[in-house]
């Protein structure tokens, strides 16, 4: 692996890392920046192309645990210099520039034989922590993909990446317009559910064992009425407690769990025949 020293904040690669870790979380070259040894290890495990790894000299021992490809560039950067490019309050001594998987609609919609598509559509979700948590739940409960509509924060926002605990590397994520999203979902006969707090079918009464997509709206306003009107129906999570609504990430996680539960029950019933 090529190794070289970084000696200035104006170093081209360090500036690229700084740009990739900016608010969008991803630069125009489709390179993303990630921070910390654990995320680097997850990126390697997920098979992402690792362009460059930045590491403080005192932490160089970490390289032995990552099994980096021979072509990955190793940049030794003094801790203070590296910290100048990072976004966390307590920076870790390692970061990297990676190339996310080039996911397509085929990845999001395609399912293994006997497995229906399960998709989360994010409509104006703005909290990166919520998005990262949804990605983690999506992977945990077997979702086939996540779609970000206009106004949704980038899945590669540094906070979203950290909250996903590496799931962002493995769950197919696409950005799409409303028209493209509905056209592609309808084309594969995916039932589209708008999440709601009232006047909707309760989760345990809805058939979620087939191909399904859940629209999760903005944290403050929920799913836009015009968007909800285009769906196949509204779904709600019954809450016996005196709470008006659930956090967006919690709601998405509960819906994904219920869909996973129904699918497992259906598979078990088929196997028992």
Inform me whether the pLDDT recorded for 23 exceeds 60.
no
| Spatial CB neighbours of 169, under 8 Å, sequence gap ≥ 6 | 42, 43, 45, 46, 48, 100, 101
Q: Where does a domain end: 80, 99, 118?
A: 99
Chain centroid to Cα 199, Å, comes to 30
Which pLDDT does position 30 carry in this prediction?
A: 83
The one-character DSSP state at 71 is T
Record the tokens describing residue 33, joined without a space.
Answer: 């920046």
Looking at the fold, whether 59 and 151 belong to one and the same domain comes out as: no
Which pLDDT does position 213 carry in this prediction?
A: 98
Looking at the fold, whether 189 and 236 belong to one and the same domain comes out as: yes
Residue-wise pLDDT tens digits, 215-269: 999 988 899 999 999 999 999 999 888 887 889 999 999 999 999 999 999 888 8
Looking at the fold, whether 48 and 120 belong to one and the same domain comes out as: no
Range in 17-26, 44-53, 88-97, 100-109 the model is least confident about: 17-26
Inform me whether the pLDDT recorded for 29 exceeds 60.
no
**pLDDT confidence band for 25 (50 / 70 / 90):** low
Count up the domains in the chain and report the number. 2
Looking at the fold, whether 136 and 89 belong to one and the same domain comes out as: no
- Which CATH number characterizes residue 37's domain? 3.30.1330.30
- Average pLDDT in the chain: 92
Residue-wise pLDDT tens digits, 152-201: 999 999 999 999 999 999 999 999 999 999 999 999 999 999 998 878 89
- Cα–Cα distance for residue pair 254/203, rounded to 1 Å: 9
- Which CATH number characterizes residue 214's domain? 3.40.1280.10
What is the phi/psi pair of residue 191, to 5°? -75, 125
What is the phi/psi pair of residue 245, to 5°? -155, 165
The candidate with the shortest Cα–Cα distance to 203, out of 243, 268, 250, 171, is 250
252 close to 118: Cβ distance less than 8 angstroms: no
**pLDDT confidence band for 26 (50 / 70 / 90):** low
Q: Where does a domain end: 51, 83, 99?
A: 99
More confident call, 42 vs 90: 42
216 close to 123: Cβ distance less than 8 angstroms: yes
The candidate with the shortest Cα–Cα distance to 59, out of 75, 48, 44, 71, is 75
Query: β-pairing, 212-216 with 201-202?
Result: unpaired
DSSP bridge pairs for 5: 76
Looking at the fold, whether 193 and 208 belong to one and the same domain comes out as: yes
More confident call, 113 vs 44: 44
Looking at the fold, whether 39 and 165 belong to one and the same domain comes out as: no
Chain centroid to Cα 76, Å, comes to 29
DSSP bridge pairs for 75: 4, 54
Which pLDDT does position 115 carry in this prediction?
A: 80
The candidate with the shortest Cα–Cα distance to 16, out of 38, 34, 2, is 34
């Amino acid at each position: 692996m090529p190794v070289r020293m970084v000696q200035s904040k104006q170093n081209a690669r360090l500036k690229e890392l700084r740009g990739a870790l900016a608010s969008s979380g991803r630069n125009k070259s489709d390179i993303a920046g990630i921070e910390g040894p654990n995320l680097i290890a997850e990126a390697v495990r997920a098979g992402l192309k690792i362009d460059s790894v930045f590491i403080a000299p005192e932490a160089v021992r970490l390289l032995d645990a990552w099994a980096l490809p021979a072509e990955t560039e190793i940049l030794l950067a003094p801790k203070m210099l590296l910290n100048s490019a990072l976004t966390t309050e307590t920076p870790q001594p390692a970061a990297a520039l990676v190339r996310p998987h080039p996911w397509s609609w085929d990845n999001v919609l395609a399912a293994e034989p006997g497995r229906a598509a399960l998709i989360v559509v994010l409509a104006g979700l703005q909290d990166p922590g919520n998005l990262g948590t949804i990605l983690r739940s999506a992977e945990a409960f077997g979702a086939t993909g996540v779609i970000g509509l206009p106004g949704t924060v980038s899945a590669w926002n540094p906070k979203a990446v950290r909250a996903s605990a590496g799931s962002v590397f493995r769950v197919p994520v696409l950005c799409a317009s409303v028209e493209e999203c509905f056209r592609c979902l309808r084309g594969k006969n995916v039932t589209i559910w708008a999440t709601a707090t009232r006047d909707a079918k309760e989760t345990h009464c809805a058939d979620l064992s087939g191909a399904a997509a859940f629209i999760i709206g903005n944290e403050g306003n929920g799913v836009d009425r015009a968007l909800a009107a285009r769906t196949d129906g509204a779904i709600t999570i019954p809450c016996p407690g005196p709470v008006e609504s659930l956090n967006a990430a919690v709601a998405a996680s509960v819906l994904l769990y219920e869909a996973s539960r129904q699918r497992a029950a259906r598979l078990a019933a088929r196997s028992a025949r």
